[in-house]
A and B are shown apart, each in its own frame.
Chain A
């Protein structure tokens, strides 16, 4: 802790001088956090809750995809909706490359394509044999084959990412979003065509992918850590700055010397690579590669995660993923069968909550009257529903059971709409979680100019007037910069 040069007295009330980051403490905290995480994973891995293991593995797998989608959607500001297509490519490629020979022959036998013979030979094991690397073809080195397959799957997805990235050179905004969506869907449709079914086995897909990796916490979290590390470093590298420049103003970025075409395609390629890796892990998690694993709902979930967490923030993407995975995996009670009266009460509670939120928002925004129709309509309906559900619980009509299929997805979409309307920036905004941010420190040394301003602000003569609350007109950022997160 070093105080500002030339500051004779403590700052005026409410003002804190700059502190530079306590790097030793931050490093220790980070190391401690990692140790805690590893211990936690070891605990869960050794524990007997399979559900928890599954949830954490899925969190890591989807986290990789979300963080990579964040590079395009959040950092570069291009709305890409084809992420499930990249995952599909990576997933199918990885699955096919490590699939046991018997399964591959089954696929080829059911397909009608001339590529069947080629598809049978397609595996890392065969390649290792051909190269004379018997050790790599042995059953116990499947992890190495899986890694190679994952890498190849990622590269294949990245190649498609380049293809999808090219329209971004000509198209903007909505048009580009729809083109990426069309690519994503087209990839799925192509995978079901007869030509490709010697690889993909048509719409049915293939089973028998070794599940040891997608369900292993060490593999999934290891790859998630790598992804997060790469993405976090990338965000603050010169590439990341260029991508953020493109997001803010493409023409200005171009004028500043950023090769926007190159950077956009690069963002797509990197994002697609990690999506492919995530797809490979996902296929290994499920044990099968099927077309219905890679529907648009994946991209939708990632969009929810990014929007909830904060567009452009890696930590935000992880927070959002955690939420999505928890709702998805622990949302079973939402979709169970309950008597209609229970549903009525639940609906009433949701309506009452809506009324409360609407009231709070109106009060926060100083909207008069505070209780408009948006407040009293849900309030009245909710109260009626609750009353009806509670007092009518004995009625035979309300004792019929009803199962709420699709409630999880409905919950997530309502959440997304609400977030988009109420807090478009998400939880984290564009900031990242940093220890310095937590302790309200600056990461950089103040410049001489800022030191001068601080000296001026901490002037004892001025401090008296500041304490009295006399507001200076010259209320610029330099005077109020008292740390906070850097982003």
Chain B
């Protein structure tokens, strides 16, 4: 970085450390969303255009649980019904041959956490996050059931158009339900509160969110990996991703596996949505909130190799760095004024280049074209 010397005094160790942690934070969020894209694509070869909107619903659902204003009783009843229904759905998934005590216990504990924590205010943020994950997971399953399941055998383009329609539906449903305006999203002061540490003699002021987001992401990713590799349903998922027809013949309930995929992907997106709101302090209009993170996370999934779980994480983190670190590296001279306004296009350009050069992505397997 020889050219940086003497250009701008703000280019110091703390500056780069700050850019590094922020890039990692953003990359973790992208990775969480990208996991949903990559899982759905891996199983049914569908680019779930509505995933960005699922992310939006996750954030807004959490906002409504976050807000300390007392909930109107009909809303509370609806929320309770939805959460209960979601819990019953999950029970349904793991009923019968798919019974997995570990997961079932996990689901039960999660539900208890929601129930208990919703009542208290201390753990309100965690409760809101988990509840939002549940609600959004149910939404994902519902989308699959209503819009995608009837089209299983249809041409790929019809499924894609349907996904676009679902995305558009959710955008406008967001306007309807949450009203189309910028919404402040205030996490507990503990998380936005200052975190400072010294880097090369300079002090970096940042917030606990830069720690929380990667940690929560890591926990969720490890949980997902354990689920996919250690449980029967995870094995069924892998089998379906390999070859749905054969898996069906081997006794795998493919529809249930697909529903589980949507459930997990949507839950991760909801977690990302909540943390997105906490990170940036606000969630903007529901009509556009999901689009840019969604498309960028898709780009991340493509860059990493769509269909591959590690690929999504790698791609997400890489995109976070590409977007945040690259713009931080560029010197603040007049020639580069306003360069940050190009950062959104980086994601698109990176995706287009990767698609053209290596469509299977960095980690992805070789997707040679089949006749």
Contacts and interface: CB of A to CB of B under 8 A. Distances in A.
Interface stretch (B9-17, B62-70, B157-165, B250-258): B157-165
A327 B113 CA distance: 45
Given A112-B337, A174-B160, A406-B173, A182 B351 contact: yes
Contacts of A81: 164
Contacts of B337: 112, 194
A424 interface: yes
B267 to A, nearest CB: 23
Contacts of A420: 151, 154, 158, 161-162, 165
Interface stretch (B189-197, B207-215, B341-349): B341-349
A66 B174 CA distance: 27
A177 interface: yes
A416 B171 CA distance: 15
B168 A190 contact: no
Contacts of B351: 178-179, 182
Interface stretch (B22-30, B120-128, B198-206, B352-360): B352-360
Interface string A152-181: 000000000000000100111111011101
B352 A183 contact: yes
Specify which of B47, B162, B295 lies most central, judged by the most chain A CB atoms within 10 Å of its CB. Answer: B162
B172 interface: yes
Contact of B359 (A171, A185, A193, A405): A171
A421 B359 contact: no
B156 A405 contact: no
Contacts of B151: 420-421
A173 B157 contact: yes
B6 interface: no
B158 A424 contact: yes
Contacts of A416: 161-162, 165, 168
Nearest to A307: B161
**Chain B binding surface, main DSSP class:** helix
Nearest to B179: A405
B369 interface: yes
Contact of A300 (B156, B164, B175, B352): B164
Contact of B356 (A77, A171, A172, A413): A171
A6 interface: no
A421 B157 contact: no
Contact of A410 (B162, B173, B338, B348): B173
A189 interface: yes
B295 A79 contact: no
A79 B161 contact: yes
A179 B355 contact: yes
A304 B74 CA distance: 34
Nearest to A425: B158
Interface in A176-206: 177-179, 181-183, 185-186, 189-190, 192-195
A79 B159 CA distance: 11
Interface in B163-186: 164-166, 168-169, 171-176, 179-180
A406 B175 contact: yes
B150 interface: yes
B158 A186 contact: no
Contacts of B175: 405-406
Nearest to B174: A406
Interface in B324-371: 337-338, 341-342, 344-345, 348-349, 351-352, 355-356, 359, 369, 371
Contacts of B146: 417
B162 to A, nearest CB: 5
Nearest to B357: A170
A185 B13 CA distance: 35
A186 B299 CA distance: 13
B43 to A, nearest CB: 14
B298 interface: yes
A262 interface: no
A52 interface: no
A345 B362 CA distance: 53
A307 B151 CA distance: 15
B352 A182 contact: yes
A413 B169 CA distance: 5
Contacts of A481: none
B41 to A, nearest CB: 8
B147 interface: yes
A251 interface: yes
Contacts of A393: none
Contacts of B162: 416-417, 420-421
A404 B355 CA distance: 40
A407 B158 CA distance: 23
Given A406-B176, A410-B176, A417-B165, A79 B157 contact: yes
Contacts of A421: 147, 150-151, 162
B291 interface: yes
A312 to B, nearest CB: 12
A409 interface: yes
Contacts of B359: 170-171, 175
B161 A175 contact: no
Interface in B261-300: 287, 291, 295, 298-299
A296 interface: yes
Contact of A173 (B156, B171, B295): B156
B145 to A, nearest CB: 10
Contacts of A409: 168-169, 171-172
Contacts of B173: 406, 410
A404 B176 contact: yes
Interface string B18-47: 000000000000000000000000000111
Given A189-B345, A405-B175, A296 B355 contact: no
A167 B173 CA distance: 34
A220 B300 CA distance: 42
Contacts of A251: 371
Given A174-B156, A420-B161, A407 B176 contact: yes
A413 B291 contact: no
A303 interface: yes
A297 B288 CA distance: 11
A186 B352 CA distance: 11
Contact of B352 (A167, A192, A412): A167
Nearest to A81: B164
Given A170-B356, A407-B176, A194 B341 contact: yes
A35 to B, nearest CB: 38
A24 to B, nearest CB: 41
A414 interface: yes
A404 to B, nearest CB: 6
Contacts of A307: 161
Interface in A397-412: 397, 404-407, 409-410, 412
Given A182-B348, A251-B371, A413-B168, A167 B355 contact: yes
12 contacts: A79-B157, A178-B47, A181-B295, A182-B351, A192-B341, A195-B338, A297-B168, A300-B168, A406-B287, A410-B173, A420-B151, A420-B158
Interface pairs A-B: 3 shortest CB-CB: A406-B172, A406-B175, A194-B338
Interface of A: 77, 79, 81, 112, 167, 170-175, 177-179, 181-183, 185-186, 189-190, 192-195, 251, 296-297, 300, 303-304, 307, 397, 404-407, 409-410, 412-414, 416-417, 420-421, 424
Interface of B: 45-47, 74, 146-147, 150-151, 154-158, 160-162, 164-166, 168-169, 171-176, 179-180, 287, 291, 295, 298-299, 302, 337-338, 341-342, 344-345, 348-349, 351-352, 355-356, 359, 369, 371
Given A189-B348, A194-B341, 14 more contacts: A79-B160, A174-B45, A174-B46, A175-B359, A178-B302, A179-B352, A182-B299, A182-B352, A193-B345, A300-B164, A303-B161, A416-B168, A420-B154, A421-B162
